[in-house]
Amino acid sequence: MRNPFIIAAAFLLVLSAASCKSQYELLLEGNDAQAKYEAAFDYFNQGKYQKSAALFESLSVLTNGTSRDDTVQYYWGLSNYRFKDYYTAEANFTKFIEMFPRSPFAEQARFFRIDCLYKSTYRYELDQTPTYTAITAISEFIMEYPDNPHIPACNRMLFDLNERLDRKAFENAKIYYTMEDYKAARVALKNVLKDDSENMYREEVLYYTAMSSYKYASLSVPSKQKERFMLFIDDYFNFVGEYPESKHRRELDSLYKRVKNNETSASDAPVK
């Protein structure tokens, strides 16, 4: 026989859970702005950001045009941000900035917006369109708020995003080297620095440029090798002039000596 006390306790537990759920749902669907406002902040302060976001979103209809309008809109975005829904939060903050440019929350909303943009960017291998959007927004924020306490964080974001773009440019050019198309590799690598002389991977770009020219010359027919090894010598001196202490120095020195020794041997050969 089932214990009636256990059955009654289980029923009360289920009833209590249903009551709590229905209380939130009734509040969400209701029109009591004050009760909804207080509950939204209670959930926010408890770290229940998904629920606070839903309440602030529902509340925004009731507070539209009132003195609480910007507060509700801002915390709606902040709740989504804290919930790590950066796509929705970015849309929230963009709308907020357009609607309330003079709000006390405006400057902070601008920072959270660019942080959302930053967090929505992709690895260097993927499409970098969001990266360019984030760089533009971050740069504008730094210019507009040079004394903002988040400027160091903005600078770190910019460095990371620019490093991603630089690496993508380098890796895209290096593909030709991996494919052993050394002529195309040298052209592509030189174009990387032509487009951006301060590329963060400049040392690697110059190294693979020299290696490409050496391998291209080595695989050429004998009648064209001398001319093409001259390109390697140019690339070699460009590299060692900028990076005399590079980890690649010993390898390139060895290749350079080989080329010079071959030139000496060829010049010493008897004329037929």
The pLDDT tens digits of the residues spanning 172-198 come to 999 999 999 999 999 999 999 999 999
The pLDDT of residue 75 is 98
What's the N-to-C CA distance of the chain in angstroms? 116
User: In this structure, which amino acid lies at residue 226?
Assistant: K
Residue 192, burial from CB neighbour count under 10 angstroms (0-12, 13-18, 19+): buried
**Mean pLDDT computed over 9-32:** 64
The helix or strand, by DSSP H or E, that contains position 216, with its residue range, turns out to be helix 202-218
Cα of 15 vs its chain's centroid, Å:
48
What 3-state DSSP class applies to 3? coil
Q: Is 266's pLDDT higher than 90? A: no
Q: By the 8 A CB rule, do 97 and 110 touch?
A: yes
Cα of 204 vs its chain's centroid, Å:
22
Reference 201, options 248, 157, 255; nearest CA is: 248
How far, in Å, CA of 58 to CA of 37, rounded? 10
In degrees, to the nearest 5, what angle opens at C-alpha 255 toward C-alphas 253 and 257?
70
Q: What is the pTM of this model?
A: 0.79
One-character DSSP codes across 162-184? HHHHHHHHHHHHHHHHHTT-HHH
Highest mean predicted confidence (pLDDT) among 4-8, 11-15, 24-28, 75-79 = 75-79
The pLDDT of residue 11 is 47
Confidence tier at 3 by pLDDT (50, 70, 90): low
Q: Is 5's pLDDT higher than 70? A: no
What 3-state DSSP class applies to 10? helix
Q: What is the DSSP code (8-state) at residue 243?
A: -
